Structures are given as structure tokens and as C-alpha cells.
Structure 1
Amino acid sequence: MSYAPPRALWASRLGFILAAAGSAVGLGNIWKFPYITGQNGGGAFVLVYLVCIAVVGLPIMMAELMIGRHTRKDAVGAFIHLEGKRSFWQAPGWISVAAAFIICSYYSVVAGWTLDYLYRALLGSFSGQSAENIEGLFGGLTADGPRQLLWHFLFMSLCLGIVIGGVQKGIERWSKILMPILLALLALLFMNGLLSPGAWEGITFLFRPDFTKLTPAAVLEAMGHAFFTLSLGMAAMITYGSYLSKQEDLLGASLRVVVLDTVIALMAGIAIFSVVFSVGMEPAAGPGLVFKTIPVVFSQLPGGFVLAILFFLLLAFAALTSNISLLEASVAYLIDERGWSRPRATWFLAGLAFVVGIPTALSYNTLAEWKVIGDRVFFDSVDMLVSNYFLPFSGLFISIYVGWFWSGTEEKQELIAGGAGWVYPTWHFLIRYVSPLAVAVVLFFKMKETGLFAWFAALLQ
């Protein structure tokens, strides 16, 4: 017997903004954005990134929220509602829900690393250690499968505890607690960065464009990150949009989320680069910036013990607010399409995500010899598939559908309902021409970069 509760709605505009911003603000803002900025030359990369946020990210975010609010359904159910059960247009719904679940499973493992480092920071493990010893801690963590599984289990349990409470009493209530704390922690680290000797050098690096360092690969990286940082293509915004009031201004709501997400990324960049420059280290440290370089930096700074605790607490909160949206996107599918109760759906999917995440936790130790795609271990393989194919394909299909196939009257009515009908011509042009073209270009080059074309060619020979 199916269970069909009435559709939950956000209790307040602030609740939605904090929940949606929490979904967008994750490790991508505080971990990935600073290191890819460092690798791609700083200011010119940031400028391209901001342009891409405006012309690619914002229109697609509005489209996803619009689909969710119009249908009052999960990502799969939304397209069934719009086009029927036999329609091809179910594809972006299925791809995005699958992406959300897979990311949820391995994101929890990575988030577990932040909990481990928070624990180390509380114990003062970075103080009085050599740079070599601190940098070696990360290798020790990834080589320890059982330890990663413990943190993975604890983090997924936190997500379960929040999502099982529902939209208002779970996600919204905790977003109103976690996001202000996250912003306060970031503000403290940001002020510390501004007061450090490397502040001006860090700000200059981030905001003074040097177009001689801007390569075509950097432009593609900026475009891709602008899309992924907003939680687009992974069912989260469609699901969160389905809980949104019909009177809410979609443009205003989307702008608030985008601006908050972008400001947090830039503040994190300033906070990190200022202290990195203060001790004379290189900003282009790559993925190891957070788990190798930053602990070394804190070990050399006055008050570094406290700064390390604040920083890894910030990372843990950012990861948590993101992962609850990924779990909710999958839970909403079982509730809407399969008639499951929220407790049953949440327990089942959280448990399944933990199990699916086990090979990720063992990828650099017990299962290190298991190469899934090419020479990639399990974690790298699933991350490559989801980041480079699932999310771009989902975003491409959604922008094409909304731009070319969905009724323009319905779209315009959704914007008019919140008082933003005036933006329809500009938004429709961007979602019809600019956004799909940009995502298609990123997708093409990612397929080329990851060797998919070569794989197809070999298969056809």
C-alpha cells in the first residue's frame, strides 16, 4: 500500500535560502575552488568563473527550481509529470538522481577525512611537527581503510539524523543552525587572513587578472566548476524547488543562493591564500592544499592550533550541508514515486549509500590494485564518471528541455508568480542558447580529456 503525504513546503524564505545555499556550499567552495584557482593563475581565472556563474549557472539553477516548483515532484517524477512515463525526457531525472546517490556515497568518505582532521586538530597533532610529518598524515589516513570506514559511518549517520526529520523539522531546522555557524567560522578565518602579513598578496593573487596565465584549459575548468559548485545536474535543486512556495521570486531566490555561494568561495580563497603567502608557500599546491599544505601553514602560525580547529570544523559543516541535499534528492524519489514513508526511505538509502561508499574508503589501501576504468581505482573511476558525464549530461538535457521543449507559457507563469516575469526574455535566451552550448563544450572536452573518444574508437576497430 502506497504512502502519499501532503507536499512539505519550506516554512520560510530564509529556510530555503540557507538550505539551498548549504547544498551549493560544500567542499567544492572551500577545498576545490582555492586549489584550482591557484593552479590556473588566480585573478583571470576568477573573472571567467564569475562570468560563467552568471550566464551558465544562474539560468540552469532557475530552470531546475522552476521544474521542481511547477511539478511538486522529485527529479524523476517531475519529468514524468511534464512528459509522461514513456517519454525520453525522464533521462535527465534518472541521471540526476543516480548522480546524487553516487556522489552521496563517496562524498561521505571525503567528508570523513575532514572529521578525522578535525579530531587531529583538537588533539593538537599539527603542533610541533615537521612539514614532512604533517604532509604524511594524509597518506596514513588514506592507507587506513578501517579508520576511513569509521568516519564514513559517523558522517552518514549525521546525514541520516537530519534528513529523517523531514523538510521543516530536519533539513530547514538544521540549515538554520549549521549555515550561520559555517558563516561565522568563515568570517573568523577571513578576518585572520586579512590581518596576516600575506593578506595583500593573497587578495592581489585572487583579484588582479593576468590573462597571460589564462589557458583554454583554465577557461573550461572555470566553466565546469561554475556549473558543479551550485549543485546543478544532481537532482538537489529540483527537489528543493518542489518544496518552494508559489509566491517565491525565483530570480531573487536563485540570486541569493548564487551570491552567497560565490561570496563564500571568494572569502575561503582570501582566507587560505593570505595565510599560505604569509609563510612563503606556493598557492598552486593542487588537491593537497587543504589536507597537506594548510595543516603545515597552521603549524607555523601563532594561534595555529585554534585556526586548524576552526578550519576543519568549517569543512565538516560545509560537507554536511551539501550531503544532506544529495541524500534528500534520493529519498524524495522513493517517497514520491514508490510511496515509501520518509523514515523507511531515509534508513534504506543512508544504509545503502554507506555500503556503496565502502569501496571508496578502501580504494587507496585494500582495493588499491583494483583498477575499474583504465588505471583508475574505484573512487577515481566513479568520481570521473559522475563529474565528467552524469552531471554535464543531466545539465545539458535540462537546459535543452527547458529552452526548447517545455511550454514557454508555463515557464513565464512561474516567473510572473514571484514577480520576476520581466526577466523572462533574457533568461530564456541564456537557457536556450548560451547555457547548453557552454555545458556541451565542457562535456566534449571532458570526454576527450578522459579518453572516452579513444575508447570508442578502439571498440569499433
Structure 2
Amino acid sequence: MLKRGSWRTRFGFYLLAVGSACGLGNLWRFPYVVGENGGGAFILLYVFLALAVGAPLLIAELMLGKNTRRSVIVATDVMGQKAKQPFRWVGRLAVLVTVVVFSYYAVISGWVLHFMTQFFISLFLDVEGAANKTNLAALMSNGWLQLMLASAHILITVVVVLKGVQEGLEKWISYMMPLFAALVAILLFKSFSLPSTPEVMRFLFYPDFSKLTLSSLGHALGHVFFTLSVGFGTMVTFGSYLREEDHVPTAGFRVALVDTLISLLAVVMIFPVAFQASNVPLTDPALMFEVLPRYLLGIPGGALFGLAFFVCLYLAALNASIGLLEVVVSNLVDRNKKMERQKATWLSGAAALSLAILPALSSSVLKSVRINGRSLIESLDSLLINWLLPLVALGILWAFYKGTSEKEKEISFIDREKFVSYSMYSHWIVILKWVAPAVILIGFLLQVVALFQNVY
């Protein structure tokens, strides 16, 4: 049996776990989901769910990985054997969702890569020439260019993951995260100086509960799981690399807390710029790529600011992509002990590239394909994140809960040196057994009701 890799340092784990969580989910997806769901009230709902439901599930997935020392497919198989229940489908569905999300995520990451390079070129062009280069419509009409950009992004991700846990993932993230943090700080300072900021702050932090819809609970849950990487098997994989002395609840809660804070920073950073550019709240997934470049090129120093913004966005996209691809690779290696990591990585990258063809062509060759008024890539995002991901997360939770004895849960959760872990343990068990399943099922049913209302 091959020796299981592990994190060189605890800080390395935190960097990668937070980096995986703080991807385009925070900087691209969360702002427009907030805009769609009315602002402040949705943010309150999101923060509550992230800490009350997302963090406990994240801890459970890390614990599942650490206790089994395997990725999600093998880990759920082990839980199924112990509980004598059929959990085989859970891990396989998690990996399937992961590879499909990575495929369309690569297309969006390709958009970011395109605008990043164009803003760099715009430093040497006149404003009119730069505006033509950063035109979203031109990019959207060229599906093959989108596929090439997605291929480049997948290739970059593959090269990092090929190196393994310590030499690839941990080392890369340790270099990248400080740069990411510095860029976020610069962009926050710039955003707070815009005239639109006071109005945006009222929209974001003065809750109007009348703006919530039947789908808001499902959308908030889906995004909590997406941004925390819960339900993909990512945290099961990362947990399998933890050292014996690492206390899982502490690690899980810290990752959830930092990720939630970065989500809030993301909307504060992006919303003022988007509102200043379009004079409407950010509600369209493509709006950031349409109005922001045009606006930034029209202000003094905008080309340099735009370059910093899209570099920051691309680093976030790459962070999350590394985590997603590592899940697929780790599961392939765990399932087939004869398969080398290098071969598994290239196979996973090739599978993601094949699946990326349809979303890459969704705005050109396949632009006539609309599902409930949405493009193919928007429909994929909604189906996977709002509908499938919470159900997969529920399946992994149930496999962990039924396949792990009460004694094993208690030993894994309680730290003898931290008295608070004794009191928190009972709350964690209640959330896993009753609260999380109830909230997920209610959110799912409310979305079904909303869907029927829209249809009829």
C-alpha cells in the first residue's frame, strides 16, 4: 500500500483549505447570488447557515477523511460496510459532481484569464483599443476561444496537482495566498473610495426580509456548501492528509469562519465597483465581465486596477480548481492502487476538458439551448449547486453519522485540553442528526414549490 501523503505543517492545511474555499465562489458567484436574493436579509441567512450548518458538516467531512485515511469514495464504502447500509452511491456522486463543476468552472476561469491578459495588454494600448479587446460579447461569441482558455486553465491546475500534497498543493498555495491577500486589501481600499459605497452598504447590510423568496434558503445552502467545499468530497480528501495530533473541530471551525469573512469582504469589494459601473445591483453572472472592464478603462489608473482585480480573481479561481482536481485524482488513486498519481492527474484533467466542451460552447454554437430562460452554463450551475450539492452533502453526512460509532465521534471531537469541546459536542451531534437534514430537506422542498409556481 502506498504511504498516504500528509500536510507538512498545520498552517499549510489552513492555507489550502481556505484557498480551496475562497475561489470564484466567493469573488464571482456570491456577489450576484446576493444581488438576486435582495441583499442584506440573504447575507444574514447565509452567515447563519454557514456557521450553524456548514461548519458542523465541514467538521464531519474532515473527520471522515482523517478516520479512514481515504478519499470520499472509499471512505463512504467503509461507512456503508460498518453501518450495513448502501452508501456506495454517495461517494461516486460526489466525485461526479466535482468533475462536472470543475469542467464549467474552468470555462469561467478561462474568462478571468482572458480579461487578466487583456488588461495587461491594455497597459500598452490606447483606451479605445483596450475597450475593444476587453469586450465580453466578442469572447462569448467565440466558443472555441473559450475552450482554449479553459484548456489553459486546466493545464495549469494539472501541473500544480501533479506535484502532490507537499511539493505541489502546499508549496503553491503558500506562495499564492499572501499575494492574494495583498491584492484583496488594495481592492478593498479602492472600493471604499467610490461614491457608490454608502448606497451599496445600505443594500448589503440593512436587511429587508420581504425580498427573500421561496428559493432563497436553497440558494443560501447551496452556496454555503459550494464555498466551503462541502459535498464535493474535498474536505474528506483534505482530512485524510491531516496528522494524528490535529484537532479536527478546531480546524474545521476556523476554515468556515475565515471563509465566511472572505465572502463578506468579497461583496464589499465587488459590489461598489459593479454598482458604480452599471447603477444597478449585481444580479447577472456575466455582469462583472461586461460592465467592470468598460468602467475601469474609463477611470484614471483603471487599467492597472483592472489588472490587479483580475489577477486576484484568477488566483482565487486557481485555488479552488486545485482543490477540485485533487479530489478526483485522490479518489482515482485510492480506488486503483496500481494507478500512479501522474496518470490519474492527466486522466482527470482530460475528463474535465471533455466535459468543458458543452459549457464553453453554450454562448455561441449552443446559444439557442435555453433551460427555463437560462443558458446551459447557468443551468448547470443552478442544478449542481442549488439542487444536487445539498443532497450529496446530506448523503455524506448520513454515511458518516451511521458508519461512525458514538465513541469514535466523541474521541475525534473532544479535546481533553479544551473544556469547551465537551459542551460543544452535544450541540454538534444534534445538528448532524436533526438540524442539518431538516434544513437541507426544507430548502429543497421550497425550491420545488418555487419551480412549480414559475412553471404554472
**TM-score (structure 2 length as normaliser):** 0.91
Measured in 2, the distance between the counterparts of 1:334 and 1:83 equals 19
Q: Paired residue for 1:82? A: 79
Q: 1:150: how far off? A: 1.4
Q: Paired residue for 1:426? A: 427
SS at match of 1:179: helix
> Once superposed, what is the RMSD of the aligned Cα atoms?
2.8
Q: Paired residue for 1:157? A: 155
Measured in 2, the distance between the counterparts of 1:293 and 1:45 equals 24
Q: 1:349: how far off? A: 1.1
Q: Does the C-alpha gap of structure 1 residues 130 and 164 become closer, same or farther in structure 2, counting only changes over 3 Å?
A: closer
Measured in 1, the distance between the counterparts of 2:430 and 2:177 equals 34
Q: 1:130: how far off? A: 11
Measured in 1, the distance between the counterparts of 2:333 and 2:381 equals 27
Q: What is the aligned counterpart of 1:329 among 318, 327, 330?
A: 327
Q: 1:164: how far off? A: 0.5
Farther off after superposition, 118-127 or 45-54 = 118-127
Q: Paired residue for 2:194? A: 196
Q: What is the aligned counterpart of 1:304 among 298, 302, 305?
A: 302
Correspondences of 1:365-384 after superposition (within 5 Å): 365-369=364-368, 378-384=376-382
- The amino acid of 2:406's aligned partner reads G
The answer to whether 1:57 aligns with 2:58 is no
SS at match of 2:7: coil
Q: 1:316: how far off? A: 0.8
The answer to whether 1:320 aligns with 2:318 is yes
Farther off after superposition, 418-427 or 291-300 = 418-427
- The amino acid of 1:37's aligned partner reads V
Contact 1:134 1:292 in 2 (8 A): no
Q: Does the C-alpha gap of structure 1 residues 374 and 288 become closer, same or farther in structure 2, counting only changes over 3 Å?
A: closer
Measured in 2, the distance between the counterparts of 1:449 and 1:228 equals 21
Measured in 1, the distance between the counterparts of 2:247 and 2:151 equals 38
**TM-score (structure 1 length as normaliser):** 0.90
- The amino acid of 1:250's aligned partner reads V
Q: Does the C-alpha gap of structure 1 residues 129 and 437 become closer, same or farther in structure 2, counting only changes over 3 Å?
A: farther
> Structure 1 stretches of 5 or more lacking a match?
455-461
Q: Paired residue for 1:66? A: 63
Q: Does the C-alpha gap of structure 1 residues 211 and 370 become closer, same or farther in structure 2, counting only changes over 3 Å?
A: closer
Correspondences of 1:57-456 after superposition (within 5 Å): 57-84=54-81, 87-124=85-122, 128-129=127-128, 137-278=135-276, 281-339=279-337, 340-369=339-368, 378-403=376-401, 406-416=404-414, 421-422=421-422, 423-449=424-450
Measured in 2, the distance between the counterparts of 1:209 and 1:448 equals 24
Measured in 2, the distance between the counterparts of 1:39 and 1:106 equals 21
Identity percentage of aligned residues: 34
- The amino acid of 2:363's aligned partner reads Y
Q: Deviations over 1:7-43 (max 9, x none)?
A: 1111111110110111111111111211222232322
Farther off after superposition, 393-402 or 214-223 = 214-223
Q: 1:380: how far off? A: 4.4
Contact 2:5 2:241 in 1 (8 A): yes
Q: 1:274: how far off? A: 2.6
Measured in 2, the distance between the counterparts of 1:285 and 1:82 equals 41
Measured in 1, the distance between the counterparts of 2:90 and 2:440 equals 14
Contact 1:111 1:316 in 2 (8 A): yes
Q: Does the C-alpha gap of structure 1 residues 389 and 127 become closer, same or farther in structure 2, counting only changes over 3 Å?
A: farther
Q: 1:398: how far off? A: 2.2
Q: 1:403: how far off? A: 4.1
What count of residue pairs does the alignment treat as equivalent?
A: 450
Measured in 2, the distance between the counterparts of 1:197 and 1:333 equals 49
Contact 1:223 1:442 in 2 (8 A): yes
- The amino acid of 1:431's aligned partner reads L
Q: 1:369: how far off? A: 4.7
Contact 2:65 2:236 in 1 (8 A): yes
Q: 1:279: how far off? A: 5.5
Q: 1:258: how far off? A: 1.4
The answer to whether 1:43 aligns with 2:40 is yes
SS at match of 1:286: coil
Measured in 2, the distance between the counterparts of 1:451 and 1:216 equals 11
Measured in 2, the distance between the counterparts of 1:120 and 1:414 equals 49
Q: Does the C-alpha gap of structure 1 residues 191 and 55 become closer, same or farther in structure 2, counting only changes over 3 Å?
A: same
Contact 1:113 1:148 in 2 (8 A): yes
- The amino acid of 2:45's aligned partner reads V
Contact 1:135 1:291 in 2 (8 A): no
- The amino acid of 1:281's aligned partner reads N
Contact 1:334 1:345 in 2 (8 A): yes
Measured in 1, the distance between the counterparts of 2:22 and 2:407 equals 32
SS at match of 2:245: coil
Farther off after superposition, 106-115 or 417-426 = 417-426
Measured in 1, the distance between the counterparts of 2:5 and 2:454 equals 44
The answer to whether 1:24 aligns with 2:21 is yes
Q: Does the C-alpha gap of structure 1 residues 284 and 11 become closer, same or farther in structure 2, counting only changes over 3 Å?
A: same
Contact 1:9 1:244 in 2 (8 A): yes
